[in-house]
Amino acid sequence: MALLPITLFGDKILRKRVSEVKDVDMDTIKLISDMFETMHNASGIGLAANQVGSDKAIFVVDISEIDDEEDKKPIVIINPKIIKSSKDTIVMEEGCLSIPGVRGDVIRPKTITLEYQDTDFKKHTIKADRLLARVMQHEYDHLQGILFTDLVSEELKKKLKKPLNNIKRRKIEFEYPTSNSVDHQLI
């Protein structure tokens, strides 16, 4: 396993739609295990492949360290598709490993139904609520090139302009390996 540098706000790959995974080869298995290690090292609870410079439609989630969520096992999601979202919405504060130091309230559907494939390429459907639904929607958005800061109120967007610019210009300290510390060929 290896720690991968996390891409940051301003890196082009975070704005690209990823490509469908056609088969799970050894490189993909390695990528997934590296994604878990990278996420855990940064104390994250979700990570999308484009956050480590890959254009594959994969994200990983592990919320088992969070109170009342200990029963939720770490999960690998390949080629996800949200097939249903509840009309009920809920406000929750979000953050992102690619946007360090920035947090903001985002309104999203309370529950979702997600279709995906596992590492054996088997199809599954999962109905998620609470924190799991939240993290899955955040990561799903990453794979479409959408960041949570696109979804906050107009008022907060104005306030975030400066901190986001600072991340873009790499004018902040990073607590984990990021694309700031590697050659930009990754991006």
Q: Which residues are catalytic?
A: 139
**Cβ-based nearer residue to Zn ion, 24 or 63:** 63
Output the smallest distance, CB 142 to Zn ion, in A: 6
**Cβ-based nearer residue to Zn ion, 24 or 97:** 97
Give CA–CA dist 4/174, Å, rounded.
14
H or E element in which residue 34 lies:
helix 26-41
> b/e per residue, 100-139, with b = 16+ CB within 10 A?
bebebebebbbbbebebbeeeeeeeeeebebbbbbbbbbb
Which two structure tokens, joined as six digits, stand for 2?
A: 């290896």
**Cβ-based nearer residue to Zn ion, 52 or 96:** 96
Output the smallest distance, CB 23 to Zn ion, in A: 26
E strand segments, 30-111: 46-48, 58-61, 75-85, 89-94, 104-109
Q: In this structure, are residues 118 and 76 in contact, taking their beta carbons and an 8 Å threshold?
A: yes
- Residues in contact with Zn ion, total (CB under 5 A)? 1
**Cβ-based nearer residue to Zn ion, 24 or 31:** 31
Output the smallest distance, CB 143 to Zn ion, in A: 11
Site string for Zn ion, 84-113 (x = CB under 5 A): ------------x-----------------
Output the smallest distance, CB 95 to Zn ion, in A: 8
- The residues that touch Zn ion, with contacts defined as CB under 5 A, are 96
